[in-house]
A and B are shown apart, each in its own frame.
Chain A
Amino acid sequence: MAGAKKGLVLLDFWVSPFGQRCRIALAEKGIPYEYSEQELLGAKSDLLLRSNPVHKKIPVLLHDGRPVCESLVILNYLEEAFPDASPKLLPADDAYARAQARFWAAYSDKVYEVGTRLWKLKGEPQAQARAEIVQVLRNLDGELGERSFFGGEAFGFVDVALVPFVPWLPSYERYGEFSVEGIAPRLAAWARRCAERDSVAKSFHPPEKVDEFINLLKKTYGIE
């Protein structure tokens, strides 16, 4: 692309867990990039609208000016476009393990999807969301089992995909009146283990900030 900025630019929003997936993967792999904070609640930038005309959402990874959109697409892209960067987040030579990783990474989206319904809704629909998120967390706990990470011994694709939702869990716990420690203790231990990693710690915002942001969104949507 003529005149396009060389290298990597990540269009992102500070509290976005989907953006954090990309930041964590880039940090784990030691790939340099420029972070570009986007205005989302006000007017979106021309660059964002041009780069993701279909959804107008972040994250967008610009590589020499060419946009890659959607967090899991970006994670796969980083694996494939930077084959020499290590660690590999997906197992290189086990097709079934790769498929499992893709399945659980996609499944992890449900934490945010259902969690959002939990704080947006009231009454019966909220109760339904609560039941669902408890099931989702139990499923994730079961899949993790006794392993250190979803990737096995090493922090991998599913860990990167899921860990950004950890700072949102205290809010979900409050709205849903449950405790992750109580319903998914192995997942809770995994969350603490991941938070010790540099790449994760550096991208995280404290749960209080996340909760503040949820309140801001509620005001914006006119929710009590």
Chain B
Amino acid sequence: MEKSSSENAIPPAAAPLKLFGSWASSYTHRVQLALRLKGLEFDYVEEDLGNKSAELLRHNPVHKKVPVLVHGGRALPESDIILQYLDDAWPETRQLLPADAFDRALARFWCHFADDKLGPAVGAVFASTGEDQGAAVRQVHDNLALLEAELRDGAFRGRRFFGGDEVGLLDIVLGCGSYWLAVFEDVTGVRLVDADAFPRFHAWLRDFEALDEVRETIPAVDRLLEYARGLRHMLLGLAGAAAAPSSDAGPTAAAAPAAAAADIAVDI
């Protein structure tokens, strides 16, 4: 991020917004959805993740990733930081985080869970086959069970959305990625969200996907399917190459598809 010096004027809320993203990146979708929910206009720049623009790299030198939101010339990387920034910079717009400090802590905790646990677990299902995949599926189910329990009789019981009557930060983070679950189920032939096992999560996801702003943001399912099929083909092809005997090939070669996947951002 560019260093802000005290001499720089804080950009007025009305200063232009420019979002660098990738059409298949769920992290990009989070920001697009948040901007739409807040009624904030923005310009969008589609990045070719295989050939990142100089401008993107200048705005995010540390991680070199999308999404990056540029506001009045100042860059914000990392979707969860961008979403909190939108609340802070536009306090008059509908707030994504709840007002109460403890509820905010819960939202942040479960957002990290989505990014650190659930997302990678789903990615592991997608990038594997056989026994490895079986283990990854069990991991996803364990994670979904935790969320189901919170919806059933924990922190979020009785709520239509994690944010309450309306979607909030956690809905956006979990939701913009959960649409991939159905896509992955189709491509891998593996059941991830069983409506009988996870009725409340299933109902929440259905309600989330029905929202106008969500339908405007998430790409058409046939595009997602085509993309996912191609990606899985590539990931499994690379994993096959990594399995060839060589003492060094293992960890670094396996890291390559994971890194490619993270970069292409097939993530929850």
Chain A interface residues (CB < 8 Å from chain B): 54, 63, 66, 68-70, 72-74, 76-77, 80-81, 94-100, 102-103, 106-107, 124-125, 128, 139, 143, 145
B44 within 8 A of A: no
A95 touches B4 (CB 8 A): no
A-B contact pairs, 30 of them (CB 8 A): A54-B113, A54-B146, A63-B102, A68-B102, A68-B105, A70-B112, A73-B105, A77-B105, A81-B101, A95-B10, A95-B89, A96-B71, A96-B76, A98-B84, A98-B88, A99-B1, A99-B84, A99-B85, A99-B88, A100-B1, A100-B3, A102-B84, A103-B76, A103-B81, A106-B78, A107-B62, A124-B248, A124-B251, A125-B252, A128-B252
Complex Cα distance, B63 from A139, in Å, reads 11
B160 within 8 A of A: no
Find out whether the CB atom of A102 lies under 8 angstroms from the CB atom of B81: yes
Q: Which residues of A contact B84 (CB under 8 A)?
A: 98-99, 102
Complex: A69 Cα to B105 Cα, angstroms: 8
Smallest CB gap from B150: residue in A: A54
Whether, in the assembled complex, B52 has its beta carbon less than 8 Å from a beta carbon of chain A, the answer is no
User: Once the chains bind, are B109 and A73 in contact (CB under 8 Å)?
Assistant: yes
What residues of chain A lie closer than 8 Å to B74, measured between beta carbons? Answer: 96
**Could you tell me the distance between the alpha carbons of A94 and B9 in the complex, rounded to whole angstroms?**
11
Q: 8 Å CB contacts to A: which residues of B67-125? A: 71, 74, 76-78, 81-82, 84-85, 88-89, 101-102, 104-105, 108-109, 112-113
Complex alpha-carbon distance, A124 and B104, angstroms: 42
Known: A96-B74, A98-B85, A103-B78. Is A70-B62 also a contact (CB below 8 A)?
A: no
Please pick, from A54, A70, A80, A143, the residue contacting B101 in the complex, using a CB distance under 8 A.
A80
- A70–B109 CB distance below 8 A: yes
On chain B, the residues within 8 Å of A66 by CB distance are 102
Docked Cα-Cα span, A74 to B170, in Å, equals 17
* Alpha-carbon separation in the docked complex, A102 to B102 (Å): 18
Q: Would A69 and B102 count as touching, CB distance under 8 A?
A: no
Contacts of A100 in B (CB 8 A): 1, 3-4
7 closest cross-chain pairs (CB), A and B: A95-B88, A81-B101, A80-B101, A95-B89, A99-B85, A77-B105, A68-B105
A138 to chain B minimum Cβ distance, whole angstroms, is 11
B88 proximity list for chain A (CB < 8 A): 95, 98-99
A139 contacts B104, C-beta separation under 8 Å:
no
- Which of A74, A103, A145 is packed against the most chain B CB atoms within 10 Å? A103
The distance from the CB of B86 to the nearest CB of chain A, in whole angstroms, is 9
Cβ–Cβ contact B109 & A139, under 8 A: no
In Å, the complex CA distance between A52 and B88 comes to 29
Query: How long is the Cα–Cα vector from A215 to B252 in the complex, in angstroms?
Result: 26
CB distance from A212 to the nearest CB of B (A): 29
Minimum C-beta distance from A111 to chain B (A): 14
Known: A69-B109, A76-B108, A103-B78. A145 touches B102 (CB 8 A): no
- Tell me how far the C-beta of B57 lies from the nearest C-beta in chain A, rounded to whole angstroms: 14
A74-B71 Cα distance, complex, nearest whole Å = 28
Shortest distance from the beta carbon of B100 to any chain A beta carbon, whole Å: 9
Q: Contacts A107-B62, A124-B252 given; 13 further ones with Cβ under 8 A?
A: A68-B109, A73-B112, A77-B101, A77-B104, A80-B101, A96-B11, A97-B4, A99-B1, A102-B84, A103-B81, A125-B251, A128-B252, A143-B3
Most buried by B among A63, A69, A100: A100
Q: How far is the CA of A97 from the CA of B62 in the complex (A)?
A: 17
Closest partner residue, chain B, to A77 (CB atom): B105
**From B112, which residue of chain A is reached at the shortest CB distance?**
A70
- Chain B nearest CB from A223 CB (Å) reads 16
| A123 and B69 alpha carbons, distance in the complex (Å) | 39
- B1-39 CB contact bits vs A (8 Å, 1 = yes)? 101100000110000000000000000000000000000
- B4 lies within 8 A of A145 (CB): no
Name the distance in Å between A186's Cβ and chain B's nearest Cβ: 14
